[in-house]
Amino acid sequence: MTEVLLKELTNTDIDWIIAKGHQREIAAGTLLIQEGKAADSLHILLDGILTVTVSQPDNNPLSRAFTAIEGGETLGREIARLSSGEVVGELPFVGTSLTATTVKAVERSLVMSIPQQELATKLQQDVGFASRFYRAIAIMLSDRLQSSINQLGRSNLVQGEALRDVLFVLGDLHDSDIDWMMACGKPQKIAANTVLIRERGPVDALYILLDGTMSLSIAEDERNPLARAFAAIEGSEISSREITRLSKGEIIGETPFIDGRLPSVTVKAIEESIVLSISRQQLAAKLQQDVGFASRFYRVVATLLSNRLQGMLSRLGYGRRVYSKGQSLDENIEYEDELNTSVLDQMALAGKRFDWMQQRLIVS
C-alpha cells in the first residue's frame, strides 16, 4: 500500500504531514485503535506490521458476561494485516459510526501520528489536499473491502440491512454539485431482472437509484475472474449469493472512478426501477476540472466504502452498548453508537434534497 500515498499525495502534502505529524516507535502489542472507541489521531504505518481484528462472541454467555464486566479482552478474529503505507484512524473523517475493529502492532513498528483536529482543519482549508487525501483513503478502503470478502470466504457473507447511501452523499455535496448531476445525468428505466453492473465487467456510468429495488450479489463460483466474466457475457449461468438489497437513493458503480478497478459485485434489478445515469466520461472530466467537486466526490466515495466495510465487519462480531433491552434511553447520556446532532441534520437535508431531485427527474 506504500505506493498509494506516494502516488496520490504531492511532495507538499507529504511535507505538511511530516511537519504536523509525530513519528514514534511502538512496541509489539500496542493498541492504536480500539473497537468501539473514537480515534484522536490518524496513523500512517511507516514500518512494521499491524493486525486488524474484530471481536467474536464467546460461546458461553456467562463467561462472556464476566469478561465484559471485568473489562477483559474479548475473543478477536484477525481479518487483515497491514504493512507500510497503510492508514488507520481515518473513520472520523469518512464515517458516521465508531470503528468495528481493533488495530494492534504485531511487532515493533514505526508510525506517523497526525492529530485529528490538525488534519480536519487542513482538509477544510486546502481543497486540493482534501481531494488527494480522500481519493487515497477511498482506494485503501476499496482494497480492504475486497480483501475482507476474499479472506472471509464468499459463502460466509450474510445478507445485511439495505444501504442508505443517499443519507451520506447528498448531505456532503453542494447544491451546485447536485445541479450538475441533474443536468448531465439521464433518467433510465431498468426492467426487472436486468443486470445493471456485472462483476468484473466494464462500468459505463455512475448510477443513483431513484425508484425501485436492486440486488447486490457476489459470485460463489471460484473460477478465474476473467473466465467468470466471459462465461457471464456468453450467457452461462453463474451461481451467486445476494449480500444486500439496494433501495432508492443508493449510489451504484462508484468504485471504478477511484482507481479504474473493475467492480467486485453484480447489481441486478429486482423490480422495474429508475436510475439517474451519469456517463463515465463526463464524470471523469468533471473530477479533473473541478477540484472542489472532486474533493467532495472522493469524500462521498470514501464514506460509502467505509460504511459498507464497517457494516460487514459488525455482522461478524457483536457490538456492546451502554444500555440494555428494556432500559429507557436517557437524553442526558451520550451512547456509544448515538449519532450526533450535526449528522442527523445532514441526513435530514439529504432526504429533502433527494425527494426534490426525485420528483423533478421522474416528472420530467
> In the prediction, which pLDDT does 319 show?
43
Q: Nine-digit cell at 149?
A: 470478502
Report the predicted TM-score, pTM, of the whole model to 2 decimal places: 0.79
What residue ranges do the domains of the chain occupy? 2-125, 158-304+340-363
Q: Is the dihedral of CA 177, 211, 169, 245 positive or negative?
A: negative
**Domain 2-125 carries which CATH code?**
2.60.120.10
Distance CA 226, CA 205 (A): 21
Say how many residues make up the chain.
Answer: 364
Distance CA 108, CA 123 (A): 31
Distances, alpha carbon 331 to alpha carbons 151, 335, 346, in Å: 41, 10, 20
Place of cell 481543497: 127
Q: How many other β-carbons are positioned within 10 Å of the β-carbon of residue 30?
A: 16
**Could you check whether 2-125 and 158-304+340-363 share the same CATH topology?**
yes
Q: Nine-digit cell at 301?
A: 466515495
Query: Does residue 305 contact residue 261 with C-beta atoms inside 8 Å?
Result: no
3-state secondary structure of 121: helix
3-state secondary structure of 231: helix
Split the chain (364 residues) into runs of 10 and give each run's mean pLDDT.
82 95 95 86 94 70 50 66 91 77 94 95 96 94 79 50 54 86 91 93 90 85 58 59 80 84 89 94 95 94 84 58 44 47 61 71 62
> In the prediction, which pLDDT does 116 show?
93
> In the prediction, which pLDDT does 162 show?
45
Query: Does residue 185 contact residue 278 with C-beta atoms inside 8 Å?
Result: yes
Query: Does domain 158-304+340-363 fall into CATH 2.60.120.10?
Result: yes
- Fill in the DSSP letter of residue 337: T
